Structure 1
Amino acid sequence: MKHLRRLPHLILACSLASIAGFAASSAWAQTLDTSFSCSDIRKEDGDGERVNYADQGKIKLDGDKIKAFQWESSLFRSTHGFDCSIDENDGAQAEVTDKGWRITLKNAMAARAARGYDTERGNVCSIRLERNGDELQIKPTCAVLCGSRNNFTALTVNTKTGSCHYDE
């Protein structure tokens, strides 16, 4: 009979352990495997100049482990162009968030210097990947790997089809 009195406490302890284990495993089990290739032509505000955007990438994440991460983002004007690129060799690291992931660089300034950029563009690189069903919104704040350009282009990718569109 004494064992039955402890039963509710045992059930509660097991339930809490199961919930904690599930929460931890669901964060670690979060995976992403997608590729994309996008382009768009827009008119710039102010002068009405045509600007071509082109992006291609491959992202493969398993929890906070980067299996593959490569993204090239270009912006072309009639007289010149700018390019941003990042890959796992830049010291990219992943953090699981409540909406997806946050990709940062271990040492953004060293990655910039390794690419041969000799002017300061900031020392922050963060790319948020937020999943909503089949849609993956890519929100960059990573001018450090963009040479003279302000930033990578924000876009949304359909992870099933690979189709994408540029965010305004």
Structure 2
Amino acid sequence: MKRALPSTMRNSVRHRGCLLLFILGTTLLAPFSQAQQLQTKFGCNMTRDEDGEKVIYGDTGEFKLDGERIVALHWESALYRPTHGFECSIDTGDDPQAEVAQDGSKENWRITLKDPVAARHQRGYDFYNHGMNCSIRLQRDGDKLHVIPSCPALCGSRGNFTELSVDLKTGECSYEQK
């Protein structure tokens, strides 16, 4: 024979059940409400001597990421020599997608293109096949953002974007040595 619980005990059991659901719900939602975010704009340039030839690097960009959601993305990377120049660019029209990873205290994103071949052809690059892949790693270490590209699909006749680092507080840039 089943016996009914007294009303005070039923309320206590019901209260604990609701509390357990609330705790479980907030635990499951916590990672989503604290998504990694990145918001920066940068403008960089540098002139250096490479094998006796003056080379100018110039980059402007904006990365605005909210977890895996790309709010804004634009990066133009140029390399000029005395006789010719090359450029690469990527923006939201190229159908980028972001993945998030945490590595200790470092925040990392990996940006890829949904369809790099279509993006390349949309830009008119059906020649100089430097590869059909595109990946840009963004690694934030404190106030420093390291931008590490491997994205020849969007670079026409240039091999790739330029690897650089940006100080998120000052906007100061540094280019990786070749």
Give the superposition deviation at 1:19.
5.3
CA RMSD of aligned residues (A): 2.4
After superposition, what is the alpha-carbon deviation per residue over 1:106-158, rounded to whole angstroms, capped at 9, x for unaligned? 00010010001121221110000000111100000001101111110000011
Larger Cα-atom Rg: 2
User: What amino acid is the match of 2:36?
Assistant: Q
User: What amino acid is the match of 1:124?
Assistant: N
Q: How does 1:24-39 map to 2 (within 5 A)?
A: 24-26=32-34, 29-39=35-45
The structure showing larger relative contact order (alpha-carbon pairs under 8 Å, at least 6 residues apart) is: 1
The match for 2:97 is 93
Q: What is the number of equivalent residue pairs in this alignment?
A: 162
**Unmatched tracts of structure 1, length 5 or more:** 1-10
Partner-residue secondary structure (3-state), 1:109: helix
Alignment partner of 1:131 is 2:140: yes
Alignment partner of 1:40 is 2:46: yes
What stretches of structure 1 move > 4 A for 4+ residues in a row? 11-21
Q: How does 1:115-154 map to 2 (within 5 A)?
A: 115-119=123-127, 120-154=129-163
**Unmatched tracts of structure 2, length 5 or more:** 1-18
The match for 2:110 is 102
Partner-residue secondary structure (3-state), 1:97: strand
User: What amino acid is the match of 1:37?
Assistant: G
Give the superposition deviation at 1:21.
4.2
After superposition, what is the alpha-carbon deviation per residue over 1:47-79, rounded to whole angstroms, capped at 9, x for unaligned? 321110000001111111111100000000000
Distance 2:32 2:70 in 1: 18
Distance 1:16 1:77 in 2: 59
The match for 1:56 is 60
Distance 1:144 1:96 in 2: 22
User: What amino acid is the match of 2:39?
Assistant: D
Alignment partner of 1:77 is 2:85: no
User: What amino acid is the match of 1:155?
Assistant: L
Distance 1:131 1:62 in 2: 14
Distance 1:67 1:23, change over 3 A: closer
